[in-house]
Chain A
Amino acid sequence: MSETDIRIDIRNLVVDYGDVRAVDDVSLSVGRGELVTLLGPSGCGKTTTLRSVAGLEDPTGGSIALNGTLVYSAPERRNTPAEKRGVSMVFQSYAIWPHMTVFDNVAYGLRVRRMSANDIRSNVMRVLDLVQMRNFADRPASRLSGGQQQRVAVARAIAFSPEVLLFDEPLSNLDAKLRVSMRVELRELQKGLGITALYVTHDQEEALAISDRVIVMNAGRIEQIGTPEDIYRHPRTLFVADFVGNANVIQGQARGAPVGGEVNFVTVGGPVLRAAAGHAQAKGDAAALQAAYVDIFAPGRTDVPNATPGTIHRCMFHGDFIQYVVDWPCGQLLVRRPPTNRFAEGSAVTVSFAPEHCVVL
């Protein structure tokens, strides 16, 4: 993306809470109309980073620019207050004001901006339409279900047409079913309105599904930035491999120079696998293999890549898929297969996977 298209630009951000460094030298940028997710376990600094963009934290160092304007800068001793940044935010708790109606909640940002009553009315109704809450406009906000509060929170956040929208785990308080459908709606809304969004979540599935790019954070630092598929298929660190998807981590050592992007990987358990060489700084002492990329065949198959003998140790039916625990020379291997692909516990099998899916870390 070109320089002018960058909407959020964070450089070397550091946030300290007393002696604890919550955010440690984080740099990232979000382009116009892009949805970028900060993904990580609790305490990894993702929410602190987001709140720093909103102006709700006092960072220690670095800089933050929104739409090309510096809103925080440690060297310039600048920290524009939240209300002057023009960003909007959806809070984890929704932060719906219980003493107002739905309409008043959504109109808040417009009233602060001193719009005319007519404009306020039409804008509020427009966004309530977008989130399908038009009929609830006059309802006291204290009488809404979780899902409805969620929608009102989103409507309120987009009502004053902010250029940048921040999401702080917006779906984490909904039940599983609603979470999945709201995920689709949020993505539709964001794409449709062309909003630039920074989105925080600890749910890797949500992050993969909703984002243009995912930023995996750990202990205040960025581990990896990439498209969802890139993050899933080519984890660069042990942490990313462990946190995203359901990867098996295989101990061993990469041998020789990569040929056509592949190397030999000598496992601790014995077998020599063909594996993707990984990135240039890879240490080479482990490889990551997503459970969904492993195939299981009847015993004795040799015409498939990385064919290795194994035994089905445990078989768990999940509905959408079956999860197998397979005993193989390198310990236990987690495998996810479609529910049509059945093997009994105890049966001998051959496991197989393409070299490109087994990534040296």
Chain B
Amino acid sequence: MNTAVERRGPDRRLGRFLVVPGILATIGLLVIYPVFFLVTESLNVGVSGTFPPEDIGFGNYQDMVSDTQVLWNTAFVAVLATVMAIGFGLLLAWILTRTAIPGRRRLERLMELPYYMTPLVGALAWGVIAAPKTGLANQLGRLLGANGNFLNIYSAWGIAWVMALFEGTVAFVMISAAMKSMDPSMEESARVLGAGKFRVALTVTLPMILPGIVSATIFVFAEMLSAFAAAFVLGIPSRFIVITTVIWQSTSAYPPEYGRAAAMGLCLFVVLAVAIGLARLVLRKGSYATITGKAFRPRPMRLGARAWPMVTVCWAYLTLAVFLPMAALLMTSFQKFATVIVGDMRFTLDNYASVFRQGAVASALTNSFVLGLGVATVGSLLVGVLTWVIFRARVPARSLVEYVVMFPQAVPRLVFGLGLLWAWLWIGQVLPFTLYGTLWILGLAYLTVLLPLGVRTLAGVVLQIDKSLEECARVCGASWSHQMRTVTLPLMRPGIAAAWLLIFISSVRELGASLFLMGPHSKVIGPAIVDAWLTASSELSAAMALVQTGVVFVAVIFLLRVTRRYSGEPA
């Protein structure tokens, strides 16, 4: 009786049948077309970068497989970082969902902070803290008479440590979701039947949340494989090379080895796509807990005095991931040469002056800001329409739209940027105007890679809008467009605002896709920070990173204010 039947969309039949092909064609052009170029280039064993290739073969793939050192490095860092990240996530999720510690709610909200900080900023900060010799911690160690190189962040362990700190939040969110979706009465009934705490944990709790943990592990591992920022910032100085850094190096080398980069990028993409599919499958097939889709709050364990170690763990994580890095960046950014030795400190505002005045840096900042505003505005509206089409409209092949829209999340940003670069370079030859090297191509790229993020954000909101709210408007006599205007869109507004915010944040700090697509006159802040780090000074890049983070935080606070006033909720 209550079989899910989608409500009626626009009644003009023709319109209904044109919607999907239209969307598919547009998104397909943005998404599939660059990947097509990647595939062709990866098979190009002739002159690099020519299209169509003159010579075709699998040489690029053979080269990749024979470079065992890179593969080994990548796998080593990814495994190490995954183990640590899942460890963080599991511990934090258990503490924050299952124990009654003081300040739990605030801590839970604070766990979002690492997400806003980004791995790039984290890597820079940890570079400042623990670089051999010059790192603040090492300076401090020398001061105290220890070996001046006791911390070396420019190593596999260092890279894994930084990646784990920042991916830890993702693991935390995924695992605590699994823990929260378990009905506490499942455990209670085992207790009532006579099982002890340990037995309950082993026979009931663990099997129920295991799919969540496994799925989080797979997902996090895939993210680690395709992570770029930390490996780049911390790996280049010590020549520790992973697959993503090779992709970057082989394109910036002379002559550029585009084919090699494409082959590696494609392999990464395949691994990532398989992993995401697998993670979803595990979650769907294996979980009994999420069937109802309800969120439960299990009765938290009262710990008494034993709560304090738990509280300490949470704050320690936040300190390592957020407060310490921020403090280090702050301290560095105001100095001429970063040091912790009070006598040697030379404070200056020059770094900030450079950020705002030095032509290239200032324009990168402006460009990023403008791009963020533009992409967020266009993107959130587009995502609003797409989400409604995917989850509500009664049109043929809706699920195909979903797959195509979500496709970019399986493509590592770096790889996608690469594909887009060639795709638009080639198309640029037939177009009457140039796209390459302008902000437009960056905007297009951001829009494409950020669509999945927006759709995921809005999907929850749209699915929560009871279908009968829309149906009722129709029965009351409203046309489709009137219903959309008066009922659906107002109800989607908080979701659209959230999507706007997330897309804005992600645009401002975009790195992977921007690296390949920015031109000399369309610099953006993410790659500019990396540039400053590698070629100028850590003091300047610290200032830039802080300004970028500041912009993101101001945007978050501003939007939270606005939406709160708008929805009238005392959130």
Report which A residues bind B (CB closer than 8 A): 17, 20, 22, 42-48, 54-58, 81-89, 91-93, 95, 97-99, 108-109, 112-113, 140, 156, 160, 166
Interface size on B, residues (CB 8 A): 25
Assess whether B469 is in contact with A97, with CB atoms less than 8 Å apart. yes
Query: B472 — which chain A residues lie within 8 A by C-beta?
Result: 89, 91, 95, 97, 156
Specify the chain A residue showing the minimal Cβ separation from B4.
A17
Assess whether B468 is in contact with A112, with CB atoms less than 8 Å apart. no
Given A56-B474, A82-B471, 7 further pairs, Cβ under 8 A: A42-B2, A43-B1, A82-B474, A83-B475, A88-B476, A99-B491, A160-B477
Assess whether A83 is in contact with B468, with CB atoms less than 8 Å apart. no
Q: How far is the CA of A55 from the CA of B487 in the complex (A)?
A: 19
Query: B477 — which chain A residues lie within 8 A by C-beta?
Result: 83-84, 86, 109, 112-113, 160
Assess whether B474 is in contact with A81, with CB atoms less than 8 Å apart. yes
Q: From residue B183, how far is it (CB to closest CB) to chain A in Å?
A: 22
Task: List which B470-497 residues lie within 8 A (CB) of chain A.
Answer: 471-479, 482, 486-487, 490-491
Determine whether B466 belongs to the interface, using a CB cutoff of 8 Å to chain A.
yes
Query: A42 — which chain B residues lie within 8 A by C-beta?
Result: 1-2
Q: Which single member of A22, A54, A87, A95 contacts B3 (CB below 8 Å)?
A: A22
**Interface readout for B391-413 with A: 1 if CB under 8 Å, 0 if not?**
00000000000000000000000
* Contact A95:B491 (CB < 8 A) given known A46-B1, A88-B476: no
Specify the chain B residue showing the minimal Cβ separation from A113.
B477
Assess whether B487 is in contact with A97, with CB atoms less than 8 Å apart. yes
Task: List which B537-571 residues lie within 8 A (CB) of chain A.
Answer: 568
Can you report 17 residue pairs joining A to B where beta carbons are below 8 Å apart? A47-B2, A55-B474, A55-B475, A57-B5, A81-B8, A82-B475, A83-B478, A83-B479, A84-B477, A92-B468, A93-B468, A95-B468, A95-B471, A108-B473, A108-B478, A156-B476, A160-B477
Query: B1 — which chain A residues lie within 8 A by C-beta?
Result: 22, 42-48
Task: List which B451-478 residues lie within 8 A (CB) of chain A.
Answer: 466, 468-469, 471-478
Q: How far is the CA of A353 from the CA of B95 in the complex (A)?
A: 66
Query: A82 — which chain B residues lie within 8 A by C-beta?
Result: 8, 471, 474-475
Among B8, B473, B476, B479, the one with the most A-chain Cβ atoms within 10 Å of its Cβ is B476
Report which B residues bind A (CB closer than 8 A): 1-3, 5, 7-8, 11, 466, 468-469, 471-479, 482, 486-487, 490-491, 568
Q: From residue A157, how far is it (CB to closest CB) to chain B in Å?
A: 8
Query: B8 — which chain A residues lie within 8 A by C-beta?
Result: 56, 58, 81-82
Query: B473 — which chain A residues lie within 8 A by C-beta?
Result: 97, 108
Q: How far is the CA of A112 from the CA of B469 in the complex (A)?
A: 16
Q: How far is the CA of A54 from the CA of B474 in the complex (A)?
A: 9
Among B474, B479, B487, the one with the most A-chain Cβ atoms within 10 Å of its Cβ is B474
Specify the chain B residue showing the minimal Cβ separation from A44.
B1
* Contact A99:B490 (CB < 8 A) given known A22-B3, A56-B7, A93-B468: yes
Query: A93 — which chain B residues lie within 8 A by C-beta?
Result: 466, 468
The 7 closest A-B pairs by CB, nearest first: A109-B476, A95-B472, A95-B468, A82-B474, A91-B468, A112-B477, A89-B475
Query: A140 — which chain B residues lie within 8 A by C-beta?
Result: 568
Q: From residue A47, how far is it (CB to closest CB) to chain B in Å?
A: 5
Query: B474 — which chain A residues lie within 8 A by C-beta?
Result: 55-56, 81-83
Assess whether B3 is in contact with A112, with CB atoms less than 8 Å apart. no
Specify the chain B residue showing the minimal Cβ separation from A49.
B1
Q: How far is the CA of A109 from the CA of B490 in the complex (A)?
A: 17
Assess whether A87 is in contact with B491, with CB atoms less than 8 Å apart. no
Query: B487 — which chain A residues lie within 8 A by C-beta?
Result: 97
Q: How far is the CA of A44 from the CA of B5 in the complex (A)?
A: 16
Query: A46 — which chain B residues lie within 8 A by C-beta?
Result: 1
Q: How far is the CA of A99 from the CA of B5 in the complex (A)?
A: 25
Query: A99 — which chain B residues lie within 8 A by C-beta?
Result: 490-491
Query: B476 — which chain A residues lie within 8 A by C-beta?
Result: 83, 88, 108-109, 112, 156, 160
Assess whether B471 is in contact with A20, with CB atoms less than 8 Å apart. no
Q: From residue A57, how far is it (CB to closest CB) to chain B in Å?
A: 7
Q: How far is the CA of A44 from the CA of B2 in the complex (A)?
A: 10
Q: How far is the CA of A186 from the CA of B474 in the complex (A)?
A: 23
Query: B491 — which chain A residues lie within 8 A by C-beta?
Result: 97-99
Q: How far is the CA of A358 from the CA of B161 in the complex (A)?
A: 80
Q: Which single member of B475, B479, B568 contacts A54 (CB below 8 Å)?
A: B475
Query: B479 — which chain A residues lie within 8 A by C-beta?
Result: 83
Assess whether B471 is in contact with A56, with CB atoms less than 8 Å apart. yes
Q: How far is the CA of A93 from the CA of B474 in the complex (A)?
A: 16
Q: How far is the CA of A46 from the CA of B1 in the complex (A)?
A: 7
